[in-house]
Structure 1
């Protein structure tokens, strides 16, 4: 006789769902909104001087997009300059700025005196800047400390580029050391080959002028390709990022903007900060 097997039913008890409080949801929303409000006012407080300066003195008649871009740029420019009180301020020009009215070159926003200028002389092995001779002469006549730079083309012969610069630029007492501007990576050649070419240019120019050149480049290019192998040189670094507000301790010059306004020059201008005062700047000029 078979016995009947009785299966007991398993009772699954489910935990009751927690009720979402209406007020806790609102509290979370208000907390997020409050955070962004505090962040907004924190940024405004950090840039308070630049904002006050802009809204007090600016009256440019531009399109909305241009005005907004210029407003942000002007605020940062003023903030950076304010943080570098006592440092020598300068600019750089080439044929792209057109004819410069050197009689009007004096300061930025009538507050920060312009003490020096870098002028493009040559590019590659065959290009002489069409405005170099005029700018070079006028800078001297305007008593602005001047320096000349060469735009290096990686895929052209380095010694030919050095010869072109030497033939074009006559440095005198009181001028800044020559500058090598390197921004591009080579095509069809290795980085080692590029560095050999840069060394040849630097050595040839130093042998001629009897002064060690300065190297110009962007901060990332400097960090990735130049910092270690060319640590025996002084650097002029370009970085226009909003987060960068102070010159690097190991930088000789900092090109902090490409969108500044300088009287006597049409359009935007690059502006630079020297990591020292005017007397220290004169100390590094050619004797």
Structure 2
């Protein structure tokens, strides 16, 4: 008879637990970060007056640079106005100028009377400028020659854009012809489609008011895209460059600055020169 052999269980020896060090790796990192934070706060507090002086200096420097740029712009504006003595000077405004105190809108540089104003009426196919009606009535009361313009959005239906302008603007005797403002290229259509849309707007507006509209755009946009295909229209051109000192011979209006200061208007405003005197300007208004 065989004896049963019993296998003894292997003895498992557990390793003794290491005592947790007071400064474990994670705790050490937090302690170092905390030390530097306290050091930074302490240094900042100690030198608080110096930091405030430095920040104030930087702020002053920024204000100085902005003021210097404004002075340079003012010098250029004055020179352009001097080069165009005898020509009619005017503004163009929109809701971006906020509420205007029209009783104070009289001249620019305290020397050149403001004879006309072009006012944004609509934008795209659904947007009326929130200040248009106030500005439109106030300009009439102020006895300035007034005109209304539409900001054209290339990717929206041109006839719908014409309809909202016609619905919003009631032109009267003595007002300037309607203006189409085109500044951007389309993202969702070809250049040919853009030109067709512009012509549809122009034709629809001309049919309603019985007068050919004016086109506003930048000089490069005019040269590159509009000059040839829209040669039967008169143009209002924007160019703020210092090299441009006189109005183009074939321009009706020149928007020569966007950084003018005028009493009654907060912030900067655009100023324009008409390529003729006040009597010639009245000659192109609606009869």
Pairwise same-fold verdict (TM > 0.5): yes
Report what 1:38 is aligned to. Answer: none
Counterpart for residue 52 of structure 1: none
* Shift of residue 67, structure 1, vs aligned partner: 1.3
Hey, what's the Cα distance between the residues in 2 that align with 1:92 and 1:188? 29
Cross-structure match for 2:24: none
Distance in 1, Cα, partners of 2:254 & 2:66: 25
Residue matched to 2:136? 136
CA-atom RMSD, angstroms? Answer: 0.7
1:203-218 to 2 correspondences below 5 Å: 203-218=203-218
Structure 1 equivalent of residue 120 of structure 2? 120
Give the match for residue 111 of structure 2: 111
CA distance in 2, matches of 1:141, 1:75: 32
Whole-angstrom distance in 2 between the partners of 1:172 and 1:118: 14
Rounded Cα–Cα distance in structure 2 between residues aligned with 1:216 and 1:76: 22
Match of 2:84 in 1: 84
Aligned to 1:154: 154
Q: Distance in 1 between matches of 2:126 and 2:63?
A: 40
| Distance in 2 (alpha carbons) for counterparts of 1:149 and 1:188 | 24
Normalising by structure 1, we get a TM-score of: 0.78
Looking at structure 1, the residues matched to 211 and 262 of structure 2 have their Cα atoms a distance apart, in angstroms, of 30
1:174 to partner: Cα distance: 0.2
Partner of residue 176, structure 1: 176
State which structure, 1 or 2, has the greater radius of gyration over its C-alpha atoms.
2
8 Å contact from structure 2 (residues 147, 175) kept in 1: yes
State how far apart, in whole Å, the 2-side matches of 1:179 and 1:70 are.
29
Which whole-Å deviations, capped at 9, do the CAs of 1:230-256 have from their partners, x for residues lacking one? 000000000000110000000000000
| Structure 2 Cα separation of the partners of residues 68 and 102 of structure 1 | 28
Which runs of 5 or more structure 2 residues have no equivalent in the other structure? 1-61
Structure 1 stretches of 4+ with a deviation exceeding 6 A read none
Q: How many residue pairs end up in the alignment?
A: 226
Q: Supply the distance in 2 between the matched residues of 1:74 and 1:110 (Cα, whole angstroms).
A: 12
Aligned to 1:242: 242
Provide the C-alpha distance between the structure 1 equivalents of 2:71 and 2:110, rounded to a whole number of angstroms.
18
Matches within 5 A, 1:92-103: 92-103=92-103
* Pair 1:275 & 2:275 matched: yes
Q: Secondary structure at the match of 1:148?
A: strand
Kindly indicate whether residue 261 of structure 2 is the aligned counterpart of residue 261 of structure 1. yes
TM-score (norm 2): 0.78
CA drift of 1:110 comes to 1.4
Q: Secondary structure at the match of 2:281?
A: helix
In structure 1, runs of 5+ residues without a counterpart are: 1-61
Could you report, residue by residue, the CA deviation over 1:14-69 in whole angstroms, capped at 9, with x for unpaired residues? xxxxxxxxxxxxxxxxxxxxxxxxxxxxxxxxxxxxxxxxxxxxxxxx92111110
Matches within 5 A, 1:60-79: 63-79=63-79
